[in-house]
Chain A
Amino acid sequence: MQLLEQLAAALREGEDERTAELTRAAVAAGIAPRDILDSGLVAGMNVVGSQFRDGDIFLPEVLLAARAMYAGLAILKPLLVKDNIPSLGRVVIGTVQGDLHDIGKNLVGIMLRGAGFDVIDLGNDVAPERFVDTALKENCGAIGLSALLTTTMPGMKRVVELLQQRNARQQVKVVIGGAPVTPEYCREIGADGYAFDAAAAVDKVRELLSK
């Protein structure tokens, strides 16, 4: 177990090469891939998320840890697939139609993957129909919508309406965020959750998909 603690510590420090090295060592030591993921990588990332929420560290450190997470996941993923271990859930994300700003959406994708979710990133300027089509086709439990402009926010409402029209409103949760988005707007359009930042988006998706 000391190896997994070292792995979690390397990830917290954002040391991607060391994280990859320790992940390989854990596999070689015969530790189950799921345990390496949960007790090493995800455990380290959870501490990072908690420190970020508490204001003890800032986004660049979170992103360095996320890169380290990817380095470890790249080694573990083939083993997890081989063992048929399911992910925490599948989420489709994107920036709504008419909006090119994607840094916030990118951060959410990085942190969702880091937390163990499968993420389908549709990019920016995404039509409402494409979000819903993808969510249903790919069996996603949630759609994450980002907007930076007030003029593009109606695209979020349209996604909720489309899900209702296709009788998929209970099946697919909708989480929204971005600079002009507020909890009030979330309630107004009937979305399932509002996230102030990327860390909150992960918490909200985890909460909604565990219900």
Chain B
Amino acid sequence: MAWIGCPRSPVGEITRFRPADCLPAAEDILRAEGMPEPGAVPETTQALIDRARHLFLDTAQPIAVHADITTYEFGWVFAGEGRNAPDAPLAGIYPKAAHLGLFACTVGAELTETISRLFEQHDYALAYVLDAAASAGAERLADLAEQAWRAGLPATDPPEPLALLRYSPGYCGWHVTGQRRLFEYLLPADAGITLRESCLMEPLKSVSGVCVLGPASIHVFKNGFGFCAECRNPSCRARIAGLGKES
């Protein structure tokens, strides 16, 4: 099929959240940074985490945008600039989905600015922990964006046993340049999220991707692809393992 241009874009639904909604737990911050549980770290580190969580509450401005997308339209987004890995699992997953939704979310620019300011003030430890908290908070916010999208789908009676996972450009063989078409379709600038030439999002602590809702079996794929060797965030295994726990 030859694509000519961006399919007609719907108006994405914007949802604002409270910072407390996506405030990461201390153990989430520690785990993300490869550190032990809260009771096993020095008091100084625990105090830093407490301060970082307070700063998160003071400065985060969580916002998300999501929009339904058809399988046909997502084919256009996913094709991107033709740079996906030939064996990218999502190519075989999304056509089997019951529902697809694009999303982008951010914990806001002020948080990033606060991290930079702390570094400039030589408050490195707090800057580092706040950076980790912001990353963990952005992932929690992506969870909320997923839920917000799913909540807007028509209910079925009886409820279908479907599993929801999200996939993002830059992971699992979906080339990072796929961000361009995702942004062209979703238009997340209305939520304050923009894309740089290098396909990095601004504000920096942002997450984007596609929510894929379908039978759990469609999400199951083995790792060991060429691109898996480069992946430093192999959360796919845990996410796939957790599929049986949701309905």
Residues of A in contact with B (beta carbons under 8 Å apart): 14, 57-61, 63-64, 66-67, 70, 97-101, 103, 106-107, 110, 125, 149-152, 179-180, 182
Contact = CB atoms under 8 A, between A and B. Distances in A.
Nearest to B49: A60
Contacts of A150: 176, 230
Contacts of A100: 196, 198, 200, 202, 204
A192 B199 CA distance: 29
A66 B200 CA distance: 30
Interface stretch (B13-21, B121-129, B215-223, B236-244): B121-129
A99 B33 contact: no
B232 A67 contact: no
B59 interface: no
Contact of A61 (B44, B122, B123, B176): B44
- Per DSSP, chain B at the interface is loop
Interface of B: 33-35, 41-42, 44-45, 48, 115, 119, 122-125, 127-129, 131, 170, 176-177, 196-200, 202, 204, 230, 232
14 contacts: A58-B34, A60-B48, A60-B129, A61-B125, A63-B124, A67-B122, A97-B198, A98-B198, A103-B115, A103-B127, A106-B124, A106-B127, A149-B198, A182-B230
A57 B33 CA distance: 13
B199 A180 contact: no
Contacts of A152: 198
Contact of B123 (A67, A97, A98, A101): A67
A14 B128 CA distance: 15
A64 B51 CA distance: 14
A67 B44 CA distance: 14
B44 A64 contact: yes
A61 B34 CA distance: 14
Given A59-B33, A60-B129, A101-B204, A151 B44 contact: no
A58 B35 contact: yes
Nearest to B128: A63
A180 B35 CA distance: 21
B128 A59 contact: yes
A181 to B, nearest CB: 10
B208 to A, nearest CB: 14
Contacts of A101: 204
B193 to A, nearest CB: 14
Contacts of A98: 196-198, 200
Contacts of A149: 170, 176, 198, 200
Nearest to B175: A151
Nearest to B119: A106
Given A58-B34, A60-B125, A70-B122, 4 more contacts: A64-B125, A67-B123, A100-B200, A107-B128
